Amino acid sequence: MTTAIRSADRRVSPVFLALAAVLVVSGWAVWSGTLAANTGFAVFLFVVSGWVVSLCLHEYAHARTALHSGDISVEAKGYLTLNPLKYTHALLSIVLPVIFVIMGGIGLPGGAVFIEHGRIRGRWRHSLISAAGPLTNVVFAAVCTAPFWLGGLAGVPATFRFALAFLALLQVTAAILNFVPVPGLDGYGVLEPWLPLKLRRQVEPFAPFGLLAVFGLLWVPEVNHVFFDFVDTILRGLGVSQLDSYLGQEFFRFWQGEPQLLPSGS
Protein backbone atom coordinates (compact mmCIF):
# COMPACT_ATOMS: atom_id res chain seq x y z
CA MET A 1 0.00 0.00 0.00
CA THR A 2 2.79 2.43 0.93
CA THR A 3 4.61 1.70 -2.32
CA ALA A 4 1.44 2.31 -4.35
CA ILE A 5 0.82 5.63 -2.60
CA ARG A 6 4.42 6.69 -3.15
CA SER A 7 4.16 5.83 -6.82
CA ALA A 8 1.01 7.96 -7.15
CA ASP A 9 2.74 10.86 -5.39
CA ARG A 10 5.42 10.88 -8.09
CA ARG A 11 3.30 10.17 -11.16
CA VAL A 12 3.12 13.05 -13.63
CA SER A 13 -0.34 14.57 -13.28
CA PRO A 14 -2.90 14.69 -16.11
CA VAL A 15 -3.07 18.47 -15.58
CA PHE A 16 0.59 18.88 -16.50
CA LEU A 17 0.25 16.47 -19.43
CA ALA A 18 -2.69 18.54 -20.70
CA LEU A 19 -0.58 21.71 -20.45
CA ALA A 20 2.25 20.02 -22.33
CA ALA A 21 -0.22 18.89 -25.00
CA VAL A 22 -1.48 22.47 -25.44
CA LEU A 23 2.14 23.62 -25.77
CA VAL A 24 2.90 21.06 -28.48
CA VAL A 25 -0.32 21.55 -30.45
CA SER A 26 -0.20 25.36 -30.31
CA GLY A 27 3.50 25.30 -31.22
CA TRP A 28 2.66 23.17 -34.24
CA ALA A 29 -0.13 25.58 -35.17
CA VAL A 30 2.25 28.55 -35.00
CA TRP A 31 4.92 26.70 -36.99
CA SER A 32 2.61 25.38 -39.71
CA GLY A 33 0.36 28.42 -39.96
CA THR A 34 -2.68 26.15 -39.65
CA LEU A 35 -4.58 28.92 -37.88
CA ALA A 36 -3.49 31.59 -40.34
CA ALA A 37 -6.55 33.69 -39.59
CA ASN A 38 -5.79 33.47 -35.83
CA THR A 39 -2.00 33.37 -35.70
CA GLY A 40 -1.92 35.68 -32.71
CA PHE A 41 -4.22 33.41 -30.72
CA ALA A 42 -2.00 30.41 -31.52
CA VAL A 43 1.04 32.41 -30.32
CA PHE A 44 -0.89 33.36 -27.18
CA LEU A 45 -1.66 29.70 -26.38
CA PHE A 46 1.91 28.66 -27.15
CA VAL A 47 3.49 31.30 -24.92
CA VAL A 48 1.03 30.94 -22.01
CA SER A 49 1.21 27.14 -21.98
CA GLY A 50 5.00 27.28 -22.29
CA TRP A 51 5.16 29.79 -19.46
CA VAL A 52 2.95 27.68 -17.17
CA VAL A 53 4.95 24.54 -18.02
CA SER A 54 8.11 26.40 -17.03
CA LEU A 55 6.46 27.47 -13.74
CA CYS A 56 5.63 23.83 -13.01
CA LEU A 57 9.22 22.79 -13.73
CA HIS A 58 10.47 25.67 -11.58
CA GLU A 59 8.49 24.47 -8.58
CA TYR A 60 9.32 20.84 -9.31
CA ALA A 61 13.03 21.72 -9.20
CA HIS A 62 12.60 23.24 -5.73
CA ALA A 63 10.69 20.17 -4.52
CA ARG A 64 12.98 17.59 -6.10
CA THR A 65 16.08 19.24 -4.67
CA ALA A 66 14.39 19.41 -1.25
CA LEU A 67 13.53 15.71 -1.46
CA HIS A 68 17.16 14.77 -2.07
CA SER A 69 18.20 17.13 0.71
CA GLY A 70 16.05 15.44 3.35
CA ASP A 71 12.52 16.84 3.11
CA ILE A 72 10.53 13.75 2.18
CA SER A 73 7.26 15.60 2.91
CA VAL A 74 7.26 17.14 -0.58
CA GLU A 75 6.32 13.75 -2.00
CA ALA A 76 3.17 13.37 0.06
CA LYS A 77 2.16 16.96 -0.80
CA GLY A 78 2.09 16.04 -4.48
CA TYR A 79 4.80 18.49 -5.51
CA LEU A 80 6.59 15.83 -7.54
CA THR A 81 3.59 15.31 -9.82
CA LEU A 82 4.14 18.65 -11.62
CA ASN A 83 0.52 19.50 -10.89
CA PRO A 84 0.20 23.29 -10.45
CA LEU A 85 -2.96 22.75 -8.40
CA LYS A 86 -0.85 21.11 -5.68
CA TYR A 87 1.19 24.23 -4.96
CA THR A 88 0.79 25.95 -1.63
CA HIS A 89 -0.11 29.23 -3.31
CA ALA A 90 -1.67 28.40 -6.67
CA LEU A 91 -2.77 32.04 -7.06
CA LEU A 92 0.76 33.39 -6.61
CA SER A 93 2.43 30.52 -8.44
CA ILE A 94 0.27 30.35 -11.56
CA VAL A 95 -2.60 32.83 -11.85
CA LEU A 96 -0.81 36.10 -11.03
CA PRO A 97 2.28 35.29 -13.14
CA VAL A 98 0.06 34.62 -16.16
CA ILE A 99 -1.86 37.87 -15.55
CA PHE A 100 1.38 39.87 -15.38
CA VAL A 101 2.64 38.24 -18.57
CA ILE A 102 -0.53 39.44 -20.28
CA MET A 103 -0.34 42.91 -18.72
CA GLY A 104 3.31 43.77 -19.05
CA GLY A 105 5.31 40.99 -20.64
CA ILE A 106 7.13 40.32 -17.37
CA GLY A 107 7.99 36.83 -16.18
CA LEU A 108 6.87 37.36 -12.61
CA PRO A 109 8.15 34.74 -10.15
CA GLY A 110 5.40 33.27 -8.01
CA GLY A 111 4.98 31.78 -4.57
CA ALA A 112 6.27 28.24 -4.52
CA VAL A 113 6.09 24.96 -2.68
CA PHE A 114 6.21 24.69 1.09
CA ILE A 115 9.55 23.23 2.18
CA GLU A 116 9.98 21.95 5.74
CA HIS A 117 13.38 23.49 6.31
CA GLY A 118 13.75 21.79 9.68
CA ARG A 119 14.34 18.53 7.81
CA ILE A 120 17.21 20.02 5.78
CA ARG A 121 20.74 19.81 7.13
CA GLY A 122 23.51 22.07 5.89
CA ARG A 123 23.45 25.65 4.62
CA TRP A 124 24.60 24.66 1.14
CA ARG A 125 21.54 22.44 0.74
CA HIS A 126 19.20 25.23 1.79
CA SER A 127 20.82 27.55 -0.76
CA LEU A 128 20.69 24.94 -3.49
CA ILE A 129 16.97 24.34 -2.92
CA SER A 130 16.29 28.05 -3.43
CA ALA A 131 18.57 28.30 -6.47
CA ALA A 132 17.10 25.24 -8.21
CA GLY A 133 13.94 27.05 -9.34
CA PRO A 134 15.45 30.07 -11.12
CA LEU A 135 18.20 27.86 -12.56
CA THR A 136 15.36 25.98 -14.27
CA ASN A 137 14.30 29.25 -15.90
CA VAL A 138 17.90 29.73 -17.06
CA VAL A 139 17.86 26.29 -18.68
CA PHE A 140 14.44 26.96 -20.23
CA ALA A 141 15.75 30.26 -21.67
CA ALA A 142 18.76 28.45 -23.10
CA VAL A 143 16.48 25.90 -24.79
CA CYS A 144 14.19 28.60 -26.23
CA THR A 145 17.12 30.56 -27.63
CA ALA A 146 19.11 27.54 -28.86
CA PRO A 147 18.05 28.05 -32.51
CA PHE A 148 19.31 31.66 -32.26
CA TRP A 149 22.75 31.11 -30.72
CA LEU A 150 23.33 27.87 -32.62
CA GLY A 151 22.53 29.54 -35.93
CA GLY A 152 19.66 27.14 -36.56
CA LEU A 153 17.01 29.58 -37.73
CA ALA A 154 17.11 28.49 -41.36
CA GLY A 155 13.68 27.16 -42.24
CA VAL A 156 12.10 28.34 -38.98
CA PRO A 157 8.88 30.27 -39.71
CA ALA A 158 9.14 33.92 -38.71
CA THR A 159 6.15 33.86 -36.37
CA PHE A 160 7.46 30.82 -34.53
CA ARG A 161 10.79 32.59 -34.13
CA PHE A 162 9.07 35.63 -32.66
CA ALA A 163 7.04 33.46 -30.26
CA LEU A 164 10.20 31.69 -29.07
CA ALA A 165 11.93 35.04 -28.59
CA PHE A 166 9.10 36.37 -26.41
CA LEU A 167 8.96 33.15 -24.37
CA ALA A 168 12.72 33.42 -23.88
CA LEU A 169 12.30 37.01 -22.70
CA LEU A 170 9.85 35.82 -20.04
CA GLN A 171 12.31 33.19 -18.86
CA VAL A 172 15.15 35.69 -18.62
CA THR A 173 13.02 38.18 -16.68
CA ALA A 174 11.87 35.40 -14.33
CA ALA A 175 15.45 34.26 -13.68
CA ILE A 176 16.65 37.80 -12.99
CA LEU A 177 13.74 38.69 -10.70
CA ASN A 178 13.99 35.39 -8.83
CA PHE A 179 17.67 35.96 -8.10
CA VAL A 180 17.07 39.42 -6.63
CA PRO A 181 18.15 39.09 -2.94
CA VAL A 182 14.87 40.41 -1.55
CA PRO A 183 12.91 38.56 1.18
CA GLY A 184 10.28 36.34 -0.38
CA LEU A 185 12.29 35.69 -3.54
CA ASP A 186 14.65 32.81 -4.27
CA GLY A 187 17.68 35.10 -4.35
CA TYR A 188 17.17 35.87 -0.69
CA GLY A 189 16.59 32.18 -0.01
CA VAL A 190 20.06 31.47 -1.41
CA LEU A 191 21.64 34.01 0.95
CA GLU A 192 19.44 33.50 4.01
CA PRO A 193 21.22 30.43 5.47
CA TRP A 194 24.45 32.44 5.61
CA LEU A 195 22.98 35.46 7.41
CA PRO A 196 23.04 36.00 11.20
CA LEU A 197 19.98 34.58 12.93
CA LYS A 198 19.09 37.98 14.41
CA LEU A 199 19.03 39.59 10.98
CA ARG A 200 16.91 36.78 9.53
CA ARG A 201 14.33 37.24 12.27
CA GLN A 202 14.19 40.98 11.67
CA VAL A 203 13.68 40.50 7.93
CA GLU A 204 11.17 37.64 8.15
CA PRO A 205 8.02 39.81 8.61
CA PHE A 206 8.76 41.58 5.30
CA ALA A 207 9.00 38.40 3.23
CA PRO A 208 5.33 38.40 2.09
CA PHE A 209 5.78 41.89 0.61
CA GLY A 210 9.12 41.41 -1.17
CA LEU A 211 7.63 40.30 -4.46
CA LEU A 212 5.10 43.13 -4.50
CA ALA A 213 7.84 45.66 -3.72
CA VAL A 214 9.99 44.45 -6.62
CA PHE A 215 7.06 44.48 -9.02
CA GLY A 216 6.09 47.96 -7.81
CA LEU A 217 9.60 49.21 -8.58
CA LEU A 218 9.28 47.89 -12.12
CA TRP A 219 6.45 50.37 -12.68
CA VAL A 220 8.91 53.22 -12.08
CA PRO A 221 9.91 54.24 -15.64
CA GLU A 222 13.61 54.67 -14.84
CA VAL A 223 13.85 51.29 -13.12
CA ASN A 224 11.81 49.60 -15.86
CA HIS A 225 14.10 51.04 -18.52
CA VAL A 226 17.27 49.82 -16.81
CA PHE A 227 15.76 46.41 -16.16
CA PHE A 228 14.65 45.76 -19.72
CA ASP A 229 17.91 47.14 -21.10
CA PHE A 230 19.64 44.47 -19.05
CA VAL A 231 17.21 41.81 -20.29
CA ASP A 232 17.76 42.89 -23.91
CA THR A 233 21.54 42.76 -23.40
CA ILE A 234 21.30 39.15 -22.25
CA LEU A 235 18.98 38.22 -25.11
CA ARG A 236 21.29 39.84 -27.66
CA GLY A 237 24.12 37.78 -26.21
CA LEU A 238 21.97 34.73 -26.94
CA GLY A 239 21.34 35.88 -30.50
CA VAL A 240 17.81 37.21 -29.94
CA SER A 241 17.19 40.71 -31.28
CA GLN A 242 14.96 43.22 -29.56
CA LEU A 243 12.78 43.22 -32.68
CA ASP A 244 12.23 39.46 -32.41
CA SER A 245 10.99 39.64 -28.82
CA TYR A 246 8.96 42.79 -29.54
CA LEU A 247 7.14 41.18 -32.46
CA GLY A 248 6.59 38.06 -30.37
CA GLN A 249 4.83 40.14 -27.76
CA GLU A 250 2.82 41.95 -30.44
CA PHE A 251 1.57 38.64 -31.86
CA PHE A 252 0.92 37.42 -28.30
CA ARG A 253 -1.46 40.36 -27.74
CA PHE A 254 -3.82 39.07 -30.41
CA TRP A 255 -6.73 41.13 -29.06
CA GLN A 256 -4.91 44.28 -30.24
CA GLY A 257 -4.54 42.98 -33.79
CA GLU A 258 -1.49 41.37 -35.37
CA PRO A 259 1.52 43.54 -36.26
CA GLN A 260 1.48 44.74 -39.85
CA LEU A 261 5.20 45.23 -40.37
CA LEU A 262 7.54 42.21 -40.35
CA PRO A 263 11.32 42.23 -40.74
CA SER A 264 12.46 42.15 -44.34
CA GLY A 265 13.24 38.66 -45.53
CA SER A 266 11.20 37.02 -42.74
- Binned at pLDDT 50, 70 and 90, residue 264 comes out as very low
> What pLDDT is stored for residue 265 in this prediction?
44
- Binned at pLDDT 50, 70 and 90, residue 93 comes out as low
Q: Do 167 and 107 touch, CB atoms closer than 8 A? A: no
Phi, psi of 81 (to 5 degrees): -90, -5
Digit-coded pLDDT (tens) for 171-225: 999 999 999 999 888 999 999 999 998 998 888 888 778 877 888 888 899 999 9
Q: Which of 89, 64, 66, 86 has the alpha carbon at shortest distance from 77?
A: 86
> What pLDDT is stored for residue 99 in this prediction?
77
- Of 59, 75, 192, 250, the active-site residue reads 59
- Binned at pLDDT 50, 70 and 90, residue 88 comes out as low
Which ranges of the chain does DSSP label H, i.e. alpha helix? 2-10, 14-32, 39-69, 73-76, 90, 96-104, 123-149, 158-178, 186-191, 197-203, 207-218, 221-237, 242-252
CA distance 256 to 75: 43
250 is catalytic: no
> Is residue 266 scored above 50 in pLDDT?
no
> What pLDDT is stored for residue 34 in this prediction?
78
What DSSP letter does each residue of 63-80 carry, written as one string? HHHHHHHT-THHHHTTGG
- Binned at pLDDT 50, 70 and 90, residue 257 comes out as confident
**pTM of this prediction?**
0.89
